[in-house]
Structure 1
Amino acid sequence: MTWADAIAPLRNRNFAWYFASRFVNTLGNMMASIALAFAVLDITDSPTALGQVLAAHTIPMVALLLYGGVIADRFPRTLVLQFSNFASAISQGAIALLVLGGHAEIWMLVVLSVVHGAVSGIGFPAMASVLPQLVPREHLQPANALISLTRNGMAVLGPTIGALLVVTVGSGWALAVDAATWLLAALLLLPVALPPKEPSKARPDTVRELREGWTFFWSVPWLWAVVVGFGALNFIHAGAWSTLGPAVADDTIGRQAWGYVLSAEAVGLLVTTVVLLRVRLERPLLLGMIGVSMMAPPMLVLGASPHLVGLIVVAFVSGAGTEVFGMGWNLAMQENIDDAMLSRAYSYDALGSFVALPLGQLVYGPLALAFGFEEVLVVSAVAYVAIVALVLCSRSVRTLQRAPATPTDAVTSATD
């Protein structure tokens, strides 16, 4: 692909507006995490209270993912996203007003975080599945890469901007800015015109539609093989890298050095995103699973020989591999799953991924105390590679190729 091909999706009016909405939304999300954390700590120094507020967002989000998939397959996805963004603006705005007014209590933040988590769960499948309706099939890879470039770039800049706002004007105003980004993201979706959905002959029935999604999920071998595999992979990564990592770093390379390691991982993501703007992935799942196996070396180095330079190198490679998988997975889903089922497929995928995260975070601490940090990290690295190998035993994962563009792939693609 040439650079002209790489930015071709931005000449598509629908995608350009959607891209602007995602950019604003991603910036707000990256700022919000640090702003909310300090808002809670301004009320109470209790990390338990912070955990309660964060869990109040996560639990309803996970619980409503499947329902969100049904909604996104039933209604126009931009409409679902607008509702989610508007509701998020209201809930975050209410938190900001309470903090700014000095009236915020933990139970209030918990209730509002439940609302925010619920609407996030409803909106996530629509956000994940709308892209094939915005660009032609031949533009899916650069469109995904442009979205990844925004996400990865904001992962570096967003927390810094959020911290700057917290330090200069306070956590309440930082949350107010986040609420404004949600509102702006909703407004930026107004010009997007999606192709009309074909009217369903059956009456809306959530239970039936969920059952259809489940039946479809298990009927596609590569889909359930990767999702089941990632349930175990995310369990390991959340526990070994995200939970034990900071603790090991604190006793070895130091906190600042751990920040360098995480930054190296982010740089790997960014660099690979730029590469994928030009390089076409022909075997998206094979290359993706090989890429994600690169998350094992950082665990191994952290457990066996936690030196800064080595960790920076393997973290960079890990970030690169993670981005290859993310691109490969989105292309596999968007090119091989019918639009009428895509949101529900993404919702089952997200459920399988998100459910495992808190389990790993809860289990790995006691495991490390019982068996030793080095032993648990090394075994986790080996297990991680073994699980990737098991997923690759599926022929459907190894051989899935890019779907060719066909005349039926036409989408609304008005250009400026």
Structure 2
Amino acid sequence: MAGWHEFRSRAWVWIVVVQFAFVNAAGLGTLAVVGPVVADERFGRTGWGLALAVQTAGSMLGGLIAARRQPRRALFVGVLLVTTEALPVLSLGLCPALIPLLAAMVLAGLAMEQFSVVWDVSLQENIPEDRLARVYSYDMLGSLAAMPVGQIAAGPLVEHLGREPVLLGCGVLIVVATLLALSSRQMRGLMRHRPVTLPAT
């Protein structure tokens, strides 16, 4: 129960976990199911593979940026960057062409990796070491459990509501969930214990 107490007693922790339940269901769940269908119709599976590749490249760049410097309000900035996760979904809904999708994927990859770094650092700086693994367990359960729900729901929703409304609705849901998370006073007030700036090599 000590891990559960650490999890629920810090609003910024469980708020991010709840946020990501929606972000992962609406973003990753939708992309995994609807993305390949759009690719088959518009630009082919090769283009879809390229989109996933540039997302990975963006993640690598985002990790390098986060490793070199993090602002004092790193978690606030990281959570704000999660809004970019809506870009690929909105791109498929509004303009299902390869070039806009590539730009959206690389930006989302870059931003999400920066969030991942500051999230891990925030947990490690603020959660007691002997309870950190338990908090990570609640984090993974809450953040990832909704992803298969999104994948299961994507097909029936598209069939009944149409592809474009579902994609646009999921993009809006990501943005709204993130803005609600940012409204938390604890989220806005959490500071890094010490700013990180690595020397140039």
Q: 2:104 — aligned with what?
A: 314
Aligned residues: CA RMSD: 1.3
Query: Gapped runs of 5+ residues in structure 2?
Result: 196-201
Distance 2:117 2:147 in 1: 21
Distance 2:192 2:109 in 1: 23
**For the Cα contact (< 8 Å) 1:298–1:311, is it kept in 2?**
yes
Distance 1:301 1:234 in 2: 17
1:317 Cα deviation from its structure 2 partner:
0.4
Distance 2:31 2:71 in 1: 28
Rg larger in structure: 1
The answer to whether structure 1 residue 400 and structure 2 residue 196 are counterparts is no
Distance 1:318 1:404 in 2: 27
Match for residue 240 of structure 1 among 7, 30, 35: 30
1:216 Cα deviation from its structure 2 partner:
2.1
1:260 Cα deviation from its structure 2 partner:
1.0
Tell me the SS of whatever aligns to 1:277.
helix
Distance 1:281 1:225 in 2: 21
Calculate percent identity across the aligned residue pairs: 37
Match for residue 62 of structure 2 among 272, 276, 291: 272
1:25-53 CA-partner distances (Å, limit 9, x unpaired): xxxxxxxxxxxxxxxxxxxxxxxxxxxxx
Distance 1:335 1:216 in 2: 13
Name the aligned partner's letter for residue 320 of structure 1.
Answer: L
Q: 1:302 — aligned with what?
A: 92
**For the Cα contact (< 8 Å) 1:298–1:315, is it kept in 2?**
yes
Name the aligned partner's letter for residue 401 of structure 1.
Answer: M
1:242 Cα deviation from its structure 2 partner:
1.6
Higher relative contact order (CA 8 A, sep 6+): 2
The answer to whether structure 1 residue 361 and structure 2 residue 146 are counterparts is no
The answer to whether structure 1 residue 289 and structure 2 residue 79 are counterparts is yes
**For the Cα contact (< 8 Å) 1:246–1:258, is it kept in 2?**
yes
The answer to whether structure 1 residue 217 and structure 2 residue 7 are counterparts is yes
1:109-156 CA-partner distances (Å, limit 9, x unpaired): xxxxxxxxxxxxxxxxxxxxxxxxxxxxxxxxxxxxxxxxxxxxxxxx
The answer to whether structure 1 residue 345 and structure 2 residue 126 are counterparts is no
Name the aligned partner's letter for residue 218 of structure 1.
Answer: R
Distance 1:303 1:374 in 2: 5
Tell me the SS of whatever aligns to 2:69.
coil
* Number of residue pairs matched by the alignment: 195
Distance 2:68 2:14 in 1: 29
Q: Which segments of structure 1 move beyond 3 Å, counting only runs of 4 or more?
A: none
Q: 1:133 — aligned with what?
A: none
Change (3 A) 1:370 1:293: same
1:212 Cα deviation from its structure 2 partner:
2.2
Distance 1:264 1:248 in 2: 18
Name the aligned partner's letter for residue 260 of structure 1.
Answer: L
Name the aligned partner's letter for residue 284 of structure 1.
Answer: A
1:271 Cα deviation from its structure 2 partner:
1.2
Distance 1:328 1:347 in 2: 18
**For the Cα contact (< 8 Å) 1:303–1:375, is it kept in 2?**
yes
Q: Could you tell which deviates more after superposition, 279-288 or 247-256?
A: 279-288
Distance 1:346 1:221 in 2: 15
Q: 1:249 — aligned with what?
A: 39
Name the aligned partner's letter for residue 181 of structure 2.
Answer: V
1:261 Cα deviation from its structure 2 partner:
0.9
Relative to the length of structure 2, the TM-score reads 0.93
